[in-house]
């Protein structure tokens, strides 16, 4: 059993059950997210949003929007009531830029506490930036470059260096604040943004690195680009754009009016106000730091807060493997045999790179995920489920590879019609690996039926330019037509002859 699989399995087992809730009180929106548990790979089980617009007028008057306060309190009371009904073990109420900067912010927080009986944490600008960066690192552990988290009232910028948080700042560059500070004047807004960015000497340290956009407005830009480019996988987390693509998209959207924006696929009505100025902020930020690429993160402040509540051992867990181990523990038929299957397969993949070994380990964890499905649709359902798993720490091409491995384990081929639109994300080496790992897993289940005893009676290895399946003496009872077919499939995948030893 590999060390990473042992660690993932132990981390998943050590995670205590119990739902946790985070209520994010922002300048424009409020959001309740209930997570399944306090985990290295938390899964939202409930998500609801309201947009009262607490921060409207803050730049002009210095106070929260009086028209929004009653609606905000009503929604927050609803959020708390719903979370309590779900039996959560904790509820965190996090108030950010608008409440933090408003003269009446503390009074508003006190009113919420009085009506809900729950403490409101007014997050400082520095802490908001740190939590946002911590969220990005929770989902992309080795992130290196610049995090930009755009909310309605502020922009948090954080420099990451090989997974470590360095300089960070909060700037009054949320779309609501910019619109009020410039009275809607586009040229004035551009100058305001540039002046704020010019103050940050440390931005030079991230030039040419990756930019990690966070926040609902910027996620809308990712959706728009997916639609326009006909990208086949609509998952925001780790969606990548080139610098040129990001700059061109932001420039176009920044200059569109509401009527034109309303006809653009991917923009909700609630985002029509924030997208133009949010796009302008992104365009000026791209011009300032000239990133090599733009990699969107679906993880932000809420996930960063939850990550901060974990102990050090849990924080160091691999989010992909821990998430897969959680699923394997819930859905396996015979208890988890993923570690033993990985040990059994390993001799076929001795020279593989570390990233590939990690995908193989994830595939072993997920290898029994679809046993409940109808046999005629098992491979397709397994493919789609793995492709869209609510896990982090995995790129889009890796999602496709992992889904193909599991689909192949259930008998599908690379010519499956439901996989064709995604094959363009892979190179030939990716496809070869998926075919080989999937075929080997299929053979492992044919030999063992997923049981440890049966698996332990055989071994397999790549030796003398052939695939050798080793059976015990008098091992004919382990061999049959199905095993022969699947052993032959392994040989075809590796382009090597097979032999029974």
pLDDT digits (tens, 9 = 90+) for 395-449: 999 999 999 999 999 999 999 999 999 999 999 999 999 999 999 999 999 988 8
Whether the domain at 17-123 and the domain at 318-500 fall into the same CATH topology: no
Residue 126 reports pLDDT greater than 50: yes
DSSP E strands, 130-163: 145-150, 155-161
- Right CATH for 17-123 from 2.40.50.180, 3.30.70.260, 3.30.420.40, 3.40.50.300: 3.30.420.40
Average pLDDT, the chain: 92
Mean pLDDT of the 145-156 span: 96
Question: How does residue 482 score in pLDDT terms, banded at 50, 70 and 90?
Answer: confident
Alpha-carbon span 387 to 284, nearest angstrom:
34
Question: How does residue 12 score in pLDDT terms, banded at 50, 70 and 90?
Answer: low
Please report, for residues 337, 359, 448, 496, the alpha-carbon distance to residue 334 in angstroms, rounded to integers and kept in the order given: 8, 22, 11, 32
- Right CATH for 126-302 from 3.30.420.150, 3.20.20.80, 3.50.50.60, 2.60.120.260: 3.30.420.150
What confidence tens digit (pLDDT) does each residue in 222-254 have? 999 999 999 999 999 999 999 999 999 999 999
Alpha-carbon span 278 to 462, nearest angstrom:
54
Determine the pLDDT at residue 351. 87
Mean pLDDT of the 363-374 span: 92
Residue 26 reports pLDDT greater than 70: yes
Mean pLDDT of the 184-211 span: 96
Helices (H), 309-451: 312-315, 319-331, 338-345, 354-365, 378-387, 396-409, 428-448
Residue 3 reports pLDDT greater than 90: no
Determine the pLDDT at residue 1. 45
pTM of the model: 0.93
What confidence tens digit (pLDDT) does each residue in 61-85 have? 999 999 999 999 999 999 999 999 9
Question: How does residue 2 score in pLDDT terms, banded at 50, 70 and 90?
Answer: low
Determine the pLDDT at residue 335. 59
Give every strand in the sheet of 120-122, ordered side by side.
Answer: 44-50, 30-37, 17-25, 90-95, 120-122
Contact 411, 382 (CB under 8 A): no
Question: How does residue 454 score in pLDDT terms, banded at 50, 70 and 90?
Answer: confident
Place of tokens 């390993």: 346
Report the percent of the chain where pLDDT is more than 70. Answer: 94
Residue 5 reports pLDDT greater than 70: no
Contact 154, 172 (CB under 8 A): yes
What confidence tens digit (pLDDT) does each residue in 281-298 have? 999 999 999 999 999 999
Mean pLDDT of the 119-144 span: 97
Residue 11 reports pLDDT greater than 70: no
Residue 217 reports pLDDT greater than 50: yes
Residue 57 reports pLDDT greater than 90: yes
Please report, for residues 57, 215, 230, 269, 270, the alpha-carbon distance to residue 262 in angstroms, rounded to integers and kept in the order given: 24, 20, 19, 7, 10
Mean pLDDT of the 138-164 span: 96
And the tokens for 181? 């500070």
Determine the pLDDT at residue 13. 59
Mean pLDDT of the 97-108 span: 97
Question: How does residue 479 score in pLDDT terms, banded at 50, 70 and 90?
Answer: confident
CATH class of the domain whose range is 318-500:
mainly alpha
Domain parsing of the chain, residue ranges:
17-123, 126-302, 318-500
**144 or 332: whose pLDDT is higher?**
144
Mean pLDDT of the 118-132 span: 97
């Amino acid at each position: 059993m590999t060390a990473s699989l042992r660690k993932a399995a132990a981390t998943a087992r050590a995670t205590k059950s119990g739902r946790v809730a985070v209520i994010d009180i922002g300048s424009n929106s409020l959001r309740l997210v209930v997570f399944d548990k306090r985990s290295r790979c938390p899964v939202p089980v409930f998500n609801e949003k309201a947009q009262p617009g607490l921060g409207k007028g803050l730049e002009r008057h210095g106070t929260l929007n009086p028209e929004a306060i009653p609606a905000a309190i009503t929604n927050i009371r609803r959020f708390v009531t719903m979370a309590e009904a779900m039996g959560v073990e904790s509820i965190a109420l996090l108030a950010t830029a608008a409440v933090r900067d408003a003269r009446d912010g503390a009074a508003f927080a006190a009113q919420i506490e009085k009506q809900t009986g729950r403490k409101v944490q007014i997050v400082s600008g520095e802490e908001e930036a740190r939590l946002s960066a911590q969220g990005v690192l929770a989902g992309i552990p080795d992130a290196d470059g610049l995090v930009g988290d755009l909310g309605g009232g502020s922009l948090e910028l954080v420099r990451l260096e090989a997974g470590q948080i360095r300089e960070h700042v909060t700037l009054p560059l949320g779309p609501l604040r910019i619109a009020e500070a410039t009275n809607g004047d586009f040229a004035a807004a551009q100058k305001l943004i540039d002046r704020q960015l010019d103050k940050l000497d440390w931005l030079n340290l991230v030039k040419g690195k990756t930019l990690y956009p966070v926040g609902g407005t910027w996620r809308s830009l990712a959706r728009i680009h997916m639609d326009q480019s006909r990208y086949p996988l609509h998952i925001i987390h780790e969606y990548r754009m080139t610098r040129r693509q990001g700059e061109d998209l932001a420039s176009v959207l920044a200059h569109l009016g509401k009527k034109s924006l309303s006809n653009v696929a991917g923009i909700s009505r609630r985002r029509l106000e924030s997208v133009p100025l949010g796009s302008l902020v992104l365009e000026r930020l791209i011009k300032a730091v000239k990133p090599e690429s733009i990699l969107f993160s679906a993880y932000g402040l809420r996930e960063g807060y939850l990550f901060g509540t974990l102990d050090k051992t849990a924080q160091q867990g691999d989010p992909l493997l821990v998430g897969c181990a959680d699923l394997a523990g819930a859905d396996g038929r015979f208890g988890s045999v993923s570690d033993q299957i990985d040990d059994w397969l390993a001799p076929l993949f001795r020279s593989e790179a570390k990233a590939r070994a990690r995908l193989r380990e994830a595939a072993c964890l997920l290898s029994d995920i679809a046993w409940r499905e109808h046999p005629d649709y098992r491979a397709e359902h397994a493919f789609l489920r793995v492709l869209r798993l609510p896990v982090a720490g995995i790129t889009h091409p890796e999602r496709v590879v992992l889904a193909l491995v599991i689909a192949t384990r259930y008998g599908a081929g690379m010519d499956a019609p439901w996989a064709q639109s995604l094959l363009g994300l892979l190179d030939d080496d990716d496809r070869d690996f998926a075919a080989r790992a999937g075929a080997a897993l299929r053979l492992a289940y044919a030999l063992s039926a997923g049981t440890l005893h049966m698996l332990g009676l055989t071994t397999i290895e790549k030796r003398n330019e052939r695939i050798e399946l080793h059976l015990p003496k008098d091992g004919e009872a382990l061999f049959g037509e199905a095993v022969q077919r699947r052993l032959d499939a392994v040989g075809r995948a590796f382009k090597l002859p097979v032999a029974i030893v």
